[in-house]
Structure 1
Amino acid sequence: MPTTDPLARRYRRLLRWYPRDWRRARAAEVMALLLDTAPPGRTRPTARETVDLVRGGLRCRLGRPASFSVVAWAALATVICGLFTGALASRAAWETSRPQPDRAEAGAILTEVFPGHDLGDIDVPPALFVVYGHALTLRTVKTVLIGDGGEYQESATGATAFGAPPVPAEQIIAVARQRLTDAGWRLYDPQVSAYTGCTDKLCATPLPITDTTLTARRGDTILNASISTQTAADASYLAVELHRAPPPAVVPAGVLGALLGAVAGFLLFGWASRRTEGRRVSGAATFLFGVTMVLWWLPVLLTAPSLVGHHLDEPHPAWHPLWEWLGQPTASLLFLVGAVCALLALGLAAEPRRDRSPVALVD
Structure 2
Amino acid sequence: MSLARHYRWLLLAYPRAYRRERGEEILSLLLDTAPAGRTRPTAREAFDLIRGGLRCRLGRPASTSIGAWAALTALICGLFTASLAARIAWETSRPQPDRAEIAAVFAEAFPGHQLDDDIMTAPALFVFYNNPLTWRSLEPVLFGDGGEYQEGMAVASAAGPAPMPEAETLATAQQRLRAAGWQVYEPTIEVLDICATSCDPASQPVETTLVARRGDTAFRATFHDSSYNSYLGLEMQRTTPPAVLPAAVLAGLAGGVLTWLVFAWASRRTEGRRGVAALLAIALFLWWAPALLSTASLFSHHLGEPHPAWHPLWEWLGQPTCSLLFLVGAACTLALLVVALVPRRDLQPLILNAG
Q: Per-residue deviation at 1:210?
A: 2.3
Aligned to 1:77: 73
Where structure 1 has 5 or more consecutive residues not aligned to the other structure, the ranges are: 199-205, 358-363
Which has the higher mean CA deviation after the structures are superposed, 114-123 or 212-221?
A: 114-123
| Secondary structure at the counterpart of residue 115 of structure 1 | coil
| Aligned 8 A contact 2:218 2:238 in 1 | yes
Counterpart mapping for 1:3-22 below 5 A: 5-22=1-18
Q: Per-residue deviation at 1:163?
A: 4.9
Aligned to 1:46: 42
Distance 1:247 1:241 in 2: 18
| Aligned 8 A contact 2:114 2:160 in 1 | no
Structure 2 residue 229 is the aligned partner of structure 1 residue 235: yes
1:160 to 157, 160, 163: 157
Aligned to 1:250: 244
Task: Please give the per-residue CA displacement for 1:30-53, whole angstroms capped at 9, x wherever unaligned.
Answer: 112222222333221122211110
Structure 2 residue 136 is the aligned partner of structure 1 residue 139: yes
Structure 2 residue 324 is the aligned partner of structure 1 residue 333: yes
| Aligned 8 A contact 1:165 1:229 in 2 | no
Counterpart mapping for 1:118-197 below 5 A: 118-120=114-116, 121-195=118-192
Distance 2:39 2:176 in 1: 67
Task: Please give the per-residue CA displacement for 1:3-23, whole angstroms capped at 9, x wherever unaligned.
Answer: xx1111111110101112211
Distance 2:152 2:220 in 1: 13
1:93 to 71, 89, 92: 89
Which has the higher mean CA deviation after the structures are superposed, 62-71 or 22-31?
A: 22-31
2:263 to 265, 269, 286: 269
Distance 1:356 1:52 in 2: 35
| Secondary structure at the counterpart of residue 134 of structure 1 | coil
Distance 1:148 1:290 in 2: 26
2:220 to 214, 220, 224: 224
Q: Per-residue deviation at 1:162?
A: 4.7
Which amino acid in the other structure matches residue 353 of structure 1? R
Distance 1:218 1:67, change over 3 A: same
Distance 1:306 1:297, change over 3 A: same
| Secondary structure at the counterpart of residue 339 of structure 1 | helix
Distance 1:251 1:58, change over 3 A: same
Aligned identity (percent) is 58
TM-score, normalisation: structure 1: 0.89
Task: Please give the per-residue CA displacement for 1:175-218, whole angstroms capped at 9, x wherever unaligned.
Answer: 211111111111111111234779xxxxxxx9653211000001
Aligned to 1:307: 298
Where structure 2 has 5 or more consecutive residues not aligned to the other structure, the ranges are: 196-201, 349-355
| Secondary structure at the counterpart of residue 61 of structure 1 | helix
Which amino acid in the other structure matches residue 295 of structure 1? L
| Aligned 8 A contact 2:270 2:276 in 1 | yes
Q: Per-residue deviation at 1:147?
A: 2.5
| Secondary structure at the counterpart of residue 231 of structure 2 | strand
| Aligned 8 A contact 1:285 1:349 in 2 | no
Highest relative contact order (Cα 8 Å, sep 6+), 1 or 2? Answer: 1
CA RMSD, Structure 1 to Structure 2 (Å): 1.9
Structure 2 residue 59 is the aligned partner of structure 1 residue 68: no
Q: Per-residue deviation at 1:224?
A: 0.5
Task: Please give the per-residue CA displacement for 1:218-253, whole angstroms capped at 9, x wherever unaligned.
Answer: 1111000101241x5x61211100101101111111
| Aligned 8 A contact 1:97 1:246 in 2 | yes
Q: Per-residue deviation at 1:123?
A: 1.5
Aligned to 1:343: 334
Q: Per-residue deviation at 1:122?
A: 2.1
Distance 1:21 1:135 in 2: 51
Say how many residue pairs are matched.
341
Task: Please give the per-residue CA displacement for 1:259-306, whole angstroms capped at 9, x wherever unaligned.
Answer: 11110111111111110113xxx2211110110000000001211111
Distance 1:274 1:356, change over 3 A: farther
Distance 2:102 2:190 in 1: 26
Aligned to 1:297: 288
Which amino acid in the other structure matches residue 262 of structure 2? L
